[in-house]
Structure 1
Amino acid sequence: MAIKKLAMANIVCPRDRLDETIRDMILLEKCEFIDTFLEINEGDFSIGISEENADEILDMEDIVPLKENKEIKQVIQKLETTMMSLNYKPTVHKKHMYGEHDFEKIKDDVEKLCTNFENQTNEVLQINSEIESLRNLEVIECMKNIDIDLRELIELKYFTLKFGFLTREKAKRISQNYDNIKAIVLHVGTYEEKEVNLILSPKSLDVEMGRILRSTNFVEIDLKDAFLSTPKRMIEHNKNELTKHYQRLDEIQELTKKDIKEKSNFMDILYSKLIMENRIDQVRTKVAVTENFAYLSSWVPEGFTDKIDQTLQKPPETLVTYKKSNEVSSNIPVPTFLKNNAFFKPFEMLVNMYGVPSYNEVDPTLFFGLAYILLFGAMFGDLGQGMVIVLAGLLIRKKVSADFSGILTRIGIGSMFFGIIYDSFFGYENVISSILPLPIYLRPMENINTMLISSIVLGVILVFISYGYSIVNKLRLGDLEEGVFGRNGINGVVLLSSILLLVLKQMTNISVIPSQLLYVLILISVILLVFKQPISNKIKKEERLYEENASSYYIESGFNLFETFLSIISNTISFIRVGAFALNHVGLFIAFHTLATMIGSTGGNIAMFFLGNIIIIGLEGLVVFIQGLRLFYYELFSKYYTGDGVLFTPDKL
């Protein structure tokens, strides 16, 4: 559960084996190709220097990039158009992508296939075009009660009729300027939340009205080729025409059903190969070639190199060399390969919303997942409602992303756990304790001080963990100034600990360390915060003690010191909202129970039970979800997490 190490693979293969090599690597789904010229221009492209490789090295003098083959997308579009006209949905199979690929042959096969179905395709395209035109005229429905012949209006000798959509605001603006506009604007109805208007104006003013209507974003509905009569007759005619078109589409599909069945496997093969060809072509634009050889660069997981060797070493002419990420030029960013187990993987989505971890950072997903489940559960603790959230996550799994549904199921489990601790089942207390009489229950309203103090203690623990992440990240990057002397480094831990121990003594009279020593530690921490840059530069034996001039540095240090003490107070106190939301959760239930009592009937009680739970799950659940993110993003991530990385995205189908 961490950021996995990546290696840079430099591959040289005969040019006539390039497509096969790219295809095999795409099917491995663990290779992210980069522009090979980035490596070549940096002088980092690696070929094992030996007599056997002399030709490949000398050949690099005439190296050039490959261009995109735009013809592939045209062929794909042509095949898709034919299959769509046949109402056939192809299936992409990897098994069809192996073996030799000859694009010219694939193109010829597509051409023959499309020619066989050309008549059906053309007819279907024409019918679909006519259906779309008729669908656009469904707006006439809003005029069905108006007995007027639109043909007569359109054929007026001295007037122009325009029919289309205007927003209410724009129509109102026109009506307010009737003195300046020589036209009749008639609102005839509303269609799909759009306002339909008839506009009649003198033909001599067509140019002026065109300018005015463009300024109002008027969307005209073209009636030139439509059957024109009264709206009622037009609606009836359009429905009849639509019925005829749909019947004809069914007839075409029935007539071609046998041919489709016979050629379905052939179409699947062609489409699968074209999808792979298109994917290969996207990678080709990152490849460098000479007359005889092709040169590729790709990020691969370090533990996957044996599999790549096994796949690519079949042709003996293919050469593969690897470099560790720290051996690659700093001008080529190393992507981040996140690898978490199935339980915590969904939380990668929320971590990446803030920013992708840098390659050298510690992956915070495990910490985030555990703490977020804990925070959400503590703020939204209810066994029954937690079960609803888990069920919702399972039900929407196929309709939304697996990550989001996974997050719902996990925070729902947290809510269920704390619901048992709070003895709350759909807002009713003492239900769980009556079934399981255990000494584990902590009802929020009966323990307000305990809830608030526990929230702050939880916040302090999470803040200290975030300091630990910060120290590791800074020291990994060699940032001595922030890792040791900074406010989020070792010095910051000492300062926060000293202040908390002083507060503890003032509030409880418990003395862990003598107060005099704590004051000394705080003073030392403050001094180190102020002089952190010159001290760290002195230790590292840098030529300059300050990045800028000394006066600017110390002015900035003064403000940073003030901000440090403010953040120490706000970061810890901010977690009191965890307890506050737990109390608020119970308070909302009390409000709905009170309303149910005021109604004073069984039906009213049942209605308020369902209404209350729906509102609390939907509204308060969303607020608590956001508050949990806020606590992490602002109080914790801001201390140790930069999120400046780029995700490792392997090239695959």
Structure 2
Amino acid sequence: MGELFRSEEMTLAQLFLQSEAAYCCVSELGEIGMVQFRDLNPDVNVFQRKFVNEVRRCEEMDRKLRFVEKEIKKADMPIVDTGENPEVPVPRDMIDLEATFEKLENELKEINTNQEALKKNFLELTELKHILRRTQQFFDEMEDPTLLEESSTLLDPNEVNRVAPLRLGFVAGVIGRERIPTFERMLWRVCRGNVFLRQADIEDSLEDPSSGDQVHKSVFIIFFQGDQLKNRVKKICEGFRATLYPCPETPQERKEMLAGVNARIDDLQMVLNQTEDHRQRVLQAAAKAVRVWFIKVRKMKAIYHTLNLCNIDVTQKCLIAEVWCPVSDLDSIQFALRRGTEKSGSTVPSILNRMQTKQTPPTYNKTNKLTSGFQNIVDAYGIGSYREINPAPYTIITFPFLFAVMFGDLGHGVLMTCAALYLVLRESRLIAQKNDNEMFSMVFAGRYIILMMGLFSIYTGIIYNDCFSKSLNVFGSGWSVRPMFNVRVGGNWTFETLEGNKVLQLDPAVDGVFKGPYPIGIDPIWNIATNKLTFLNSFKMKMSIILGVIHMLFGVTLSLFNHLYFQKPLNIYLGFIPEIVFMASLFGYLVLLIFYKWLSYNVRLSRDAPSLLIAFINMFLFNYSDPTVKPLYTGQQALQTLLVLIALACVPCMLIVKTLVLRRQYLWRKNLGTQNFGGIRVGNGPTDDEAEIIQHDQLSQHSEDEPEAREEEEFNFADVAVHQAIHTIEYCLGCISNTASYLRLWALSLAHAQLSEVLWSMVMHIGLSTRSVAGFFLLSIVFCFFAVLTVAILLIMEGLSAFLHALRLHWVEFQNKFYSGQGFKFLPFTFEGILDGKFED
């Protein structure tokens, strides 16, 4: 359980793997996902490593599988995903897999090539069929007797006898429908109007054999005279990518050709259907196994890529690897190596040897479904340094609570909780669906965060007594109007006064008016009070300061556990103690003043209560001579003066004293250390055991970025002084700015409540204003608008705003007190991460 609050203890281990067992051992390590391999060949080119050929073969198989997957998706077939996780195939099975994929790829390519040729032939025959039909219609129209009679009446009979019959040539073809207008204009300009064009659209769309898209085309026939015009027409048709087809001149020949074309189309359609059926059968068989093939190939590729990170000894019989792994998982790693050795059939066991190193280990925090989301929030700021305090366990409580302080509404909290519960209860089905939507994946990954935020919002909504901007009067208000009226009947208040005034002020000092506090949360009568905003403004502002100071003091306290763990007494005495005293003497005192004022001043004394803001300002200015400012308690001046002096005394402790002590320690280690000459100890320095401890402190990697934790050849006093000055100034000024930053809890809480109230009064009030039968339908419509706006604005937009502000409070105001976040993440070699695409090779 202790490892939850601190990263796992890591160790560097050396693996000695026999060549014949290395593949199976790495496979078993990939299944458990507990080791991170180091590259022992950083200077060796990728193409010069031992297993580069095997990696290339795996990449080639992966390419072939992607081609098969593309063909399956093109055919709109679902890829069968049974959730099976096959074992890694042994190296000798690679040849069989390569042959299977090669055969499948060649078969699909051959089918595609034949199918494309058949479709191209089918398209040509279909176009020719439409041309023969349309050209016959054109000739029938031209040979219409009525048209011939009309044309003969326009000519002189004697002239008709003198004109010799002209033979016109023609070409026929198809062209894209969108090119017809431009095609017609070009023919007219180039041929100077000496050609005659007729065109008609093909009603049915045609399939392009190369792309598979549906295209729309038109049939055209062009009449001309002479070879010169014929050449021009053909060149224009070629330029516009029009397809020309031979068309007989006589009707009988056209009829016979059409019959032949129809017969060929029928035969070709049958062949196409058979080819498509064969292709479907091949793809259906591949769709059942392609996912398993992908897993096998990518596992093999990952294994060979990992083996390339290892060294090979001089005997060429053993592979040497270095891995980072958790100390608590060493037994599991040993069992995995033993299983791999047994599976490979090797008689020589694999060896795991722990190593001593000065290098900083990676940071590894074990998580589950609940803690992973909060750990990701922390890691987004920075990966924690090795073995420093992990903020994630505390963030599980503080993050949703601070969010709920800004988002506090019972109704909105219930809606958010219901949405999160749906994701949590159906998480197995939703994971199986594998939704690729990025927004949904992000929300689903944070389902437990949303659930916690919703539950805490319900709690703060009860405290605020706020549900969709309305209060719930469950226990009865603590205020009573009747005793006040009885008192006032003989005085100023009468029945006429009550009827003529909408707003009357209740005096809490009158006995019987205030019966007692509301059992939980804010009294519902404040919802109809005219000074509601004034009261909530003061209450939430003080509450924000209290929560902020407690949160920051908790963060400073956590730094103590870092100093204790890393055995840094200097950081405790000259770091933690001055920091906690400085903050507690100033802002901790302010919190105590808030509670003292709440407890000490009742309704009769509240008029004389001094302002906390003025008192706090006068505390820093040592101004106690103003007669208008009354003290809160006796001895206030002496206590506040003492607290300010104590806070000021803490500054030089952090600024100067710590730097001088660091310099003295460095000189002591340098000049008064232990020197051994022939086993004889010389000097008045520390003993051998003390020197070993000092050396260990010098080599230890501290979680904080402090000069004394770094290995330095020379102690640079100026650098250390500047660093310590920056740290001190940042902390002292940060105490003020960070406390003010927590006022966002107050601001966003008021903004959310006011926006909810505006939405109710501006939208929902319209539907409730009419009480007729038509008002029911109006209310239904208005409620739909109200629901949509509530979800879109108050839940999504306001929720996202409160989420980001709570994120900032944790990153900047809380974590900077104890969390450096300068480590690097533990990325184990795991097949699960590789198959999910989380890690690249």
Same fold (TM over 0.5): yes
Alpha-carbon shift at residue 155 of structure 1 (Å): 9.0
Alpha-carbon spacing, 1:347–1:224, altered in 2? closer, same or farther (3 Å) = farther
Task: Tell me which residue corresponds to 1:463.
Answer: 552
Alpha-carbon shift at residue 425 of structure 1 (Å): 2.2
Q: How does 1:102-141 map to 2 (within 5 A)?
A: 102-122=93-113
Pairing 1:304–2:471 present: no
Determine which of 617, 626, 647 is the counterpart of 1:522: 647
8 Å CA contact 1:424, 1:432 repeated in 2: no
Task: Tell me which residue corresponds to 2:685.
Answer: none
Determine which of 41, 57, 74 is the counterpart of 1:71: 57
Alpha-carbon shift at residue 651 of structure 1 (Å): 1.7
Residue by residue over 1:353-396, the C-alpha shift from the partner in whole angstroms, topping out at 9 and shown as x without a partner, is 11111222111101122111110111101122122223334556
Q: How does 1:381-396 map to 2 (within 5 A)?
A: 381-394=408-421
**2-structure distance, mates of 1:527, 1:101:** 72
Task: Tell me which residue corresponds to 1:581.
Answer: 748
Pairing 1:26–2:193 present: no
Alpha-carbon spacing, 1:108–1:440, altered in 2? closer, same or farther (3 Å) = same
> Partner amino acid for 1:67?
V
- Residue identity over aligned pairs, in percent, reads 19
Pairing 1:450–2:539 present: yes
**2-structure distance, mates of 1:323, 1:510:** 66
Alpha-carbon shift at residue 312 of structure 1 (Å): 1.6
**1-structure distance, mates of 2:186, 2:361:** 66
Residue by residue over 1:92-114, the C-alpha shift from the partner in whole angstroms, topping out at 9 and shown as x without a partner, is 74334255653233212322333
Pairing 1:626–2:668 present: no
**2-structure distance, mates of 1:584, 1:28:** 50
> Partner amino acid for 2:583?
L
Pairing 1:400–2:452 present: no
8 Å CA contact 1:150, 1:228 repeated in 2: no
Task: Tell me which residue corresponds to 1:606.
Answer: 783
Task: Tell me which residue corresponds to 1:509.
Answer: 633
Alpha-carbon shift at residue 32 of structure 1 (Å): 2.0
> Partner amino acid for 1:371?
T
Task: Tell me which residue corresponds to 2:297.
Answer: 274
Residue by residue over 1:303-352, the C-alpha shift from the partner in whole angstroms, topping out at 9 and shown as x without a partner, is 2222222222234413322427xx2341xx42221123433321112111
Q: How does 1:477-556 map to 2 (within 5 A)?
A: 477=566, 482-486=571-575, 489-500=576-587, 503=590, 504=592, 506=615, 508-509=632-633, 514-515=639-640, 517-531=642-656, 532-539=658-665, 541-543=668-670
Q: How does 1:252-267 map to 2 (within 5 A)?
A: 254-259=277-282
Alpha-carbon shift at residue 253 of structure 1 (Å): 5.8
Residue by residue over 1:513-550, the C-alpha shift from the partner in whole angstroms, topping out at 9 and shown as x without a partner, is 94565345324312212212112343563559998776
Uncovered stretches (5+) of structure 1, i.e. residues with no partner: 41-62, 130-143, 159-222, 230-246
Determine which of 467, 472, 489 is the counterpart of 1:425: 467
TM-score, scaled to structure 2: 0.55
Alpha-carbon spacing, 1:555–1:119, altered in 2? closer, same or farther (3 Å) = closer
Pairing 1:378–2:405 present: yes
8 Å CA contact 2:40, 2:310 repeated in 1: yes
8 Å CA contact 1:82, 1:121 repeated in 2: no
8 Å CA contact 2:79, 2:290 repeated in 1: no
Residue by residue over 1:109-146, the C-alpha shift from the partner in whole angstroms, topping out at 9 and shown as x without a partner, is 322333444423546799999xxxxxxxxxxxxxx999
Alpha-carbon spacing, 1:252–1:339, altered in 2? closer, same or farther (3 Å) = farther
Determine which of 269, 292, 302 is the counterpart of 2:317: 292
> Partner amino acid for 2:323?
S
Alpha-carbon spacing, 1:501–1:21, altered in 2? closer, same or farther (3 Å) = closer
CA RMSD of aligned residues (A): 4.2
Give the secondary structure class of the aligned counterpart of 1:442: coil
Alpha-carbon spacing, 1:318–1:537, altered in 2? closer, same or farther (3 Å) = farther
Q: How does 1:39-188 map to 2 (within 5 A)?
A: 66-67=51-52, 69-86=55-72, 87=77, 89=79, 91=81, 93-97=84-88, 101-122=92-113, 149-151=181-183
Alpha-carbon spacing, 1:7–1:635, altered in 2? closer, same or farther (3 Å) = same
**1-structure distance, mates of 2:326, 2:813:** 33
Give the secondary structure class of the aligned counterpart of 1:643: coil
TM-score, scaled to structure 1: 0.70
**1-structure distance, mates of 2:119, 2:397:** 53
8 Å CA contact 2:416, 2:454 repeated in 1: yes
Give the secondary structure class of the aligned counterpart of 1:400: helix
Pairing 1:8–2:12 present: yes
Give the secondary structure class of the aligned counterpart of 1:7: strand
Task: Tell me which residue corresponds to 2:206.
Answer: none
Give the secondary structure class of the aligned counterpart of 2:37: strand
**2-structure distance, mates of 1:84, 1:283:** 29
Alpha-carbon shift at residue 269 of structure 1 (Å): 5.2
Residue by residue over 1:489-509, the C-alpha shift from the partner in whole angstroms, topping out at 9 and shown as x without a partner, is 221111111223554565643
8 Å CA contact 2:420, 2:450 repeated in 1: yes
**1-structure distance, mates of 2:118, 2:655:** 77
Alpha-carbon spacing, 1:451–1:278, altered in 2? closer, same or farther (3 Å) = same
Give the secondary structure class of the aligned counterpart of 2:446: helix
Alpha-carbon spacing, 1:539–1:272, altered in 2? closer, same or farther (3 Å) = closer
Alpha-carbon spacing, 1:439–1:145, altered in 2? closer, same or farther (3 Å) = farther
Task: Tell me which residue corresponds to 2:453.
Answer: 411
Alpha-carbon shift at residue 631 of structure 1 (Å): 1.2
> Partner amino acid for 2:10?
L
Task: Tell me which residue corresponds to 1:50.
Answer: none
Alpha-carbon shift at residue 624 of structure 1 (Å): 1.0
8 Å CA contact 1:381, 1:419 repeated in 2: yes
Give the secondary structure class of the aligned counterpart of 1:80: helix
Task: Tell me which residue corresponds to 2:163.
Answer: none
> Partner amino acid for 1:578?
L
**2-structure distance, mates of 1:451, 1:343:** 30
Determine which of 312, 317, 321 is the counterpart of 2:352: 321
**2-structure distance, mates of 1:459, 1:249:** 75
> Partner amino acid for 1:85?
E
**1-structure distance, mates of 2:272, 2:739:** 67
> Partner amino acid for 1:149?
P
Give the secondary structure class of the aligned counterpart of 2:441: coil
Residue by residue over 1:571-627, the C-alpha shift from the partner in whole angstroms, topping out at 9 and shown as x without a partner, is 122212212222222111222233244784553753563354232222222211111
Task: Tell me which residue corresponds to 1:167.
Answer: none
Give the secondary structure class of the aligned counterpart of 1:298: strand
> Partner amino acid for 1:572?
T
Uncovered stretches (5+) of structure 2, i.e. residues with no partner: 121-175, 191-237, 245-269, 431-439, 478-516, 524-531, 594-614, 617-631, 672-706, 709-713, 832-841
Alpha-carbon spacing, 1:67–1:97, altered in 2? closer, same or farther (3 Å) = closer
Give the secondary structure class of the aligned counterpart of 1:429: coil
> Partner amino acid for 1:571?
N
Looking at CA atoms only, which structure, 1 or 2, has the larger radius of gyration? 2
Alpha-carbon shift at residue 147 of structure 1 (Å): 9.1
**2-structure distance, mates of 1:527, 1:498:** 16
Alpha-carbon spacing, 1:145–1:101, altered in 2? closer, same or farther (3 Å) = closer
Determine which of 383, 395, 401 is the counterpart of 1:368: 395
> Partner amino acid for 1:617?
L
